[in-house]
Each structure stands twice: as C-alpha cells, then as structure tokens.
Structure 1
Amino acid sequence: MKGIKVVLLAVFVACAAVFPLGAQEAPRALPVPETVSPELAHLIAAGPFAQWNTHPTTAAEWKAWAASLAEAASRELPALRERLGVDMEQGDIGGVPVFIFPPKDLPEANRDRILLNLHGGGYVLGQGESGTAEAIMMAGIGKFRVVYADYRLAPDFPYPAAIDDAVSVYRGLLETTPAERIGVFGTSTGGAMTLILTLRARAEGLPLPAAIAPGTPWTDLTKTGDSYFVNEGVDNVLISYDGWLSEAARVYAGGHDLKDPMLSPVYGDVSNFPPTLLTSGTRDLFLSNTVRMHLKLRQGGGRSRRSHCVRGPVPRAIPYGADAGSHVSFHRTGPFFRQEPPLGRAGNDGSGERKGCAAASLRGKEKADESDEEKNYAADCAYCGMCCGGRLAVHAQRPFRRLAAGGAS
C-alpha cells in the first residue's frame, strides 16, 4: 500500500502542477471529516501543492516542466504494476501509440471486453508512460484489459490533436471489438475527453460505447460554476483555476472558443448518450463542472437519463488516490453499473430508469467475503441510497459489466 501511495503522490504532482512559483493566496484549511476512513482522511488533510501558481510563457517551459514531472511519475509505475499484477504491452492503434494493460488474472467474463482510458493532465501533462497509473489500477483492481491512449499534447499539438487521437484509437478498437463491449473512462481532462469522444463518435456516425465513466471531468474550460469559487483554496491539488490550469486551457484551445462543445462538453448535445457515471467530491474544484454535466445528461432523454453523479467529502484528485482513494472510486463506480446489469439481462427495460437499488443484490458470498478493510471504505461514500457497502475488489469489476458478454449483440 505504501508503494501505491508513493506512485499516486507522484501522479498527483504530474497532474496538478508544481512549477516553481509561489501562490498568490493561501489555500484555505477546513476540518477533516470524521466520517471518512483514516486513509482518505490522510489525503484530505495533506497540504496543498504550494507551487501550483505557475504560468509558463513558452513552449519550452511547458515541455521542460512536463518532462520532469513525467520522469518522476514513471519511476514508480513498474512497482505499481507488479503490486497489482498487471502486465504492460506497447503498440499502435489507429496510428496512435498505446499502452495495453492486461491483468495477470483476467476473468473469463472480461476476456472479450475492453476499456479505453484517456488520462488527465490539462492537455499538457501525462506524456508517454507517465500518465498510466489510472489505467494500471483499473486493470489490476477492476480486472479488465485496459487500452491507454498516449494522445498528443499541447503546446506542440493544440486542439484538436488530443481528441483526434482518442477518436482514432476508438475507431481502431471498433475494428476488432463491438461497441457494446467497449467502455471509456478517464479523470479530469480524461473525463472531459471521455464525453467529447462520445460527442465526436456520434457526429461521425460511429456506434457509441456501451458505457462511460468520466471522473471529476473538466467539462467547462472557462471559469464558470460555483465550485471554481467556493472550492478555490479548498481543493488541495488544483487550488485555483487561476494557476496553471487557466493557462493550460488557453494553450490547448489555441485560439478556439473555450465554450466550443469539443472543448467544453457541458455545452454539447448529450441527448441519448450511453449510460454515464460521473464522480466528484465536495472539495473538488470541478464539482460544478460535474454536477452541471450530470443535469445536462439527465435532461437529455433516452439512455443518457441513466447518468448518476456521485459525491463525497473528498478533493478532486482522490478518485484514483493512494490506498483508500485508489479503491474508493471503483467502489463508487460499482453501484451504478451493478444496479443496471449488463446489456441483455433482466433489470433494465430500456427506458433508462433505474430498476431497484444497488444494495438489493448484495447477498451471498460477496457479502460474506467483505473484509474489515473493505468495510472501512464504506465510510468514504457519502451520497444517495445507492450505497454498496464498500466491496472493493468485487465492485472494481462492476463498472463496465454492462458491456455485453461474449456472444451478445
């Protein structure tokens, strides 16, 4: 577990920016909730990244910073793969370099299912292997084969390079795997790209993925929404939109309107989207981004009405954080996919409405196998009545079980 903490702290640094300039305003300190697990409490109480307020002025500065952070993050990843029992392969799909992470103990039920991961990093960070921690965790904890798209980054490759690459990989996957067996997920920028990829796929006449899970998605590149203000200084990773984040938005957009739906998907037409799980936290700078996206999806009709928004007392980077954090996101994702069974099975009549609650099926062996450690993570969930009791390894397999099994159409 200590190894995972080290890896994720490095990844947080890589995705949250620590370029050497001081903050203009001191972050605000709030009491740590008593209702969360000790592991999560440790992350919530962690001090802010004091050097968040950077404004690189040249492409060389951006790239030098990104390279140094990538090097630091990449050093810890072999140990993470070993710890979680995940292999790594490198390849090319649709002309885009990819990393493929198959778990050593891939379940038979998941052998023909595949997940596409789009990493975070503000469209400027996460180059090469350095951004793969989330993909490794989904492979190792969720027991899915995960394809990680090493998409091009700004400043050398501004919009639409990143999403063009993501769509190319998705097209490539469709050549070998039916859409109903493909899921897409990502956090922060990767969460936004998950939504934008779905918009692009529909616009280009491609079949949509069976399910998507955008975690704390950056759905609006402008400073719009209460949490950009209310959680400024509370989110201990991003701290403020006015640090490096706003600069990254402009660098990637390259002069395009920041409210273009292909940059800020909250302004897009999300009617009839696939089932969607959005994850955020009450201390997340992107909480309003997530909630606004959730409301847009709920208003979209059709399958997009299956959107759920999960919230707990955590900052934005926690979904794939160390120890508790690395598991709690999967534990939160599980109820959504668990309450809406895989395509073609009883429990969903196609109307997009929920049939029964998540806890209803928590019986038998899964209940008996719940460890004390897993029970502790239940405290890290603070949302509606979909609580699953915090079964981590079991629920980590749930998020994309709605992907059709072999032989399904």
Structure 2
Amino acid sequence: MTVHARRLGRWSGALAGALVATAVAAQQAPPLEVPAKSVPVPADVSPQMAKIVGAPLRTNWNIQPRTGEEWKPVAEAGAAALRKLVPGMLERLKVGIEPTTIDGVRAYIVTPKDIAPENRDRVLVHVHGGCYVLNPGEAGLPEAIFMAGFGRFKVISVDYRMPPEATYPAAHDDAMTVWKAVTRTTDPKKTAIFGTSAGGALTLAMVLRAKREGLPLPAAIAPGTPMSDTTKVGDSFVTNAMLDNVLVSPDGFCDAGAKVYANGHDLKDPMLSPVYGDMHGFPPTILTTGTRDLLLSNTVRVHRKLREAGVEAFLQVGEGQSHAHYIRDDTAPETKAVFEEIAQFFDRHLAR
C-alpha cells in the first residue's frame, strides 16, 4: 500500500468515526426549547390564501374515533359540507363530472369542457385524501376538478372503499383495479397518477405495488403532501404541531383515521408508509407541501429518497401553507399556480 493510500484510509476512517460520533451526540442532545410566539400570516400571500392561512385550528382536530362505525357520521357531515361547494367549482372551472363503475370500483370521470389538444389521448388517475376515512363520493373531487380545470386533462377519480365499508388494503386494491383498467385502454406513457395526503401516500404505494406486480408504471406522478410515514417520524411533526391549522397535531384525527383503516396492520409497511419502500425506477415525480404543513418532513423525506434513487423529483413549497391548503379555494392564485405547475410537469413527461 502506498503512503497516499494509507493516509486516505486513515482520513476515511477518521471521517466515518466523526460522523458516527456526531450522530450519537445528536441522539443524546437535549431537545431545543422554543418559547411560545405569535405567527403572523405572511404578507406576500393572496387575500384568499391569507384567509385560509389565518383561520383558527380545525374544529374537532383532536377527535379519536376508534372504529369505522364511529368515523361514519364524521365523514358524512364533512362530505355534506364539501358537496355544497362542488357545483361552484364545476361552474368556475368549466368542468363536468360523471359517476361510473370501473371493474366494480366506484369512480368519477372528471372532464374539462375544453381538453387541451395535446391532452386528448392522455388520462390522469386521481386518489383523494382524507386520512383513509374521509371525503367519500363527490366530497373527494375538488382536487380532481382543479386538475381537470387548470390543467385541461381528463381525470378518473377513484371513490375507494373506506371504513366502515372496508379496511386495509381496500383503498389500495380499488386504486390498483382502476389503474389496471386504465392501462388496458390507454398507453401508460400517456398517463399519470396524483393525489393529496392519504391520496399522496396511495399514489406512491400504487407505484410500489405496480413495480412489485410487474404492472406498467405511469409516465409521471404528483403526490401532494403525502402521508408517507404513518409512524409519525419527521421533524415537522414537532416543529409544525399546533401551527398547521388543518392536521394540527401528530396525535390528532388523521392519526386516528389511519389507524382505523390499517386495522392492526404494521404501519411501517411501505404500503402504509411508502417512504420505507424502494423508490428506484420510479417515474418523474412532483411533490407539493407548505411551510406550515405537519407533513412537510414526510414530503421532504420522499423527495430526498427519490433523488438518492436517481429519480427526477421536483418539490414545490407554498409560503405559509398548512396541510393541503392548495386544494381549499380554486379562486386563490396560489392554487392555480400549483396545478399549472403540475400540469406543466405532466406535459413534459407524458407522451403525446
């Protein structure tokens, strides 16, 4: 061995030792104490987004229903309120919806009145959010409507089964059933999958499962603020707790919903926490989150893992936004910007 090689070996060993020592020290370090403070609405957001950002904490954020039967009235009440908003969205964005069934799975065909010429043979598959227990039926459609309206794509939105109708893996199975049907009639190179929150996790899980089962992959995906780690690992579960006015707390309603859907299944399974899956070979991915999002770290960790796997991955972060604020108001310019960014990303990667 040359002198240079011996020195390099000693240097590498010293570096490795230093990294281990740093990691150990970090684990042993006391937590940082942060004083209570008031957090103003950012000055450079639109009036529409300022209203959303400055809203009080979500009502009943700390409810803990422990069965599907207990979740059902909660979901129905929330869905009734959301359904009232759908007609206005459809009118403003010039989009139509049609309920359908695809190989036994409930779904909606969401179609803009003016499909862009380059999108005439393209199809997007949408999986809605709601912690696996919320937003049944038309209540799960706002994001699909926004994508169809702003992006001028045809969208198929999956109205997957949820508790108490069914638990894990029902939502995953329904989403994959629709995916298989779509790829029988449409070139996968002309397709993409997207969804937010639980829908973001399902988007990632669908690709993991398609890889495992040898099925075609979409040309691109857009997981929005995905519930990528239901074991609640991630810095923003602490830093954004009680700041995110939607999810509010890592121990709040969404954690309870995910556990009811999992029905005792290992939460670290990549189907429920896809950040632990193998992301090599994933299609190009665009992720969306916000600076106050409780799942900011969930999103950032997926982005980093994709990059480490050599996957083209783009991350957009909304100033001041809590969890999924970008799908709350179609009149907010920030919402339009998010969906136009995703549409442009899809356009670059989907075949014509």
**AA of the residue aligned to 2:183:** L
1:75 aligns with 2:90: no
Say whether 1:273 aligns with 2:282. Answer: yes
Task: Give the structure with higher Rg (CA).
Answer: 2
Query: Which of 96, 101, 107 in structure 1 is aligned with 2:116?
Result: 107
Pairing 1:317–2:288 present: no
For residue 400 of structure 1, what is the aligned residue in structure 2?
346
1:281/1:324 CA distance change after superposition, 3 Å: farther
> How far has the Cα of 1:50 moved from its partner?
3.4
Amino acid of the residue matched to residue 169 of structure 1?
Answer: V
Contact 2:130/2:198 (8 A) holds in 1: yes
Q: Which residue is 1:208 aligned to? A: 217
| Unaligned segments of structure 2, at least 5 residues | 1-35
- 1:256-307 per-residue CA deviation (whole Å, 9 max, x = no partner) reads 1100001100000000100001111110000000011111101112xx1x11
Distance 1:58 1:187 in 2: 23
Q: TM-score, normalised by structure 2?
A: 0.85
Measured in 2, the distance between the counterparts of 1:160 and 1:169 equals 14
- Distance in 2 separating the partners of 1:221 and 1:143: 33
Please state if 1:120 is matched with 2:129. yes
The DSSP-based 3-state class of the residue aligned with 1:116 is strand
State the aligned residue count: 316
Q: In structure 1, what is the equivalent of residue 25 of structure 2?
A: none
Q: In percent, how many aligned pairs have the same letter? A: 49
Match of 2:309 in 1: 300
Offset at 1:242? Answer: 1.0
Higher strand share: 2
Q: For 1:251, which of 222, 247, 260 is the aligned residue?
A: 260
- Long gaps (5+) in structure 1: 1-26, 338-396
State the 1:329 CA deviation.
Answer: 4.5
Corresponding residue of 1:31: 40
Are 1:91 and 2:37 an aligned pair?
no
After TM superposition, what 4+ stretches of structure 1 lie above 6 angstroms from structure 2? none
For the aligned residues, what is the CA RMSD?
Answer: 1.8
Q: Shift in Å at residue 36 of structure 1?
A: 2.1
2-side partners of 1:307 and 1:273: how far apart?
Answer: 10
User: Partner of 1:136: helix, strand, or coil?
Assistant: helix
Contact 1:278–1:307 (Cα < 8 Å) also in 2: yes
Distance in 2, matches of 1:138 and 1:74, equals 17
Could you tell me the TM-score, scaled by structure 1's length? 0.74
Distance in 2 of aligned mates of 1:123 and 1:47: 24
Task: Answer whether contact 1:88 1:102 (CA < 8 A) is retained.
Answer: yes
Question: By how many angstroms is 1:200 displaced?
Answer: 0.6
After TM superposition, give the deviation of residue 333 of structure 1 in Å: 5.6
CA distance in 1, matches of 2:292, 2:273: 21
Cα offsets for 1:215-272 (capped at 9, x unmatched): 1111000121110111000001110121112211211111111000011000000001
User: Which position in structure 1 is the counterpart of 2:18?
Assistant: none
Which amino acid is 1:176 matched to?
T
Shift of 1:71: 1.7
CA contact (8 A) 2:68 2:260 kept: no
Inter-partner Cα distance in structure 2 for 1:323 and 1:97: 25
8 Å contact from structure 2 (residues 287, 316) kept in 1: yes
Structure 1 window deviating more from structure 2 (120-129 vs 68-77): it is 68-77
Question: Contact (CA 8 Å) 2:62, 2:252: kept in 1 or not?
Answer: yes
Q: Give the CA deviation at 1:334.
A: 4.6
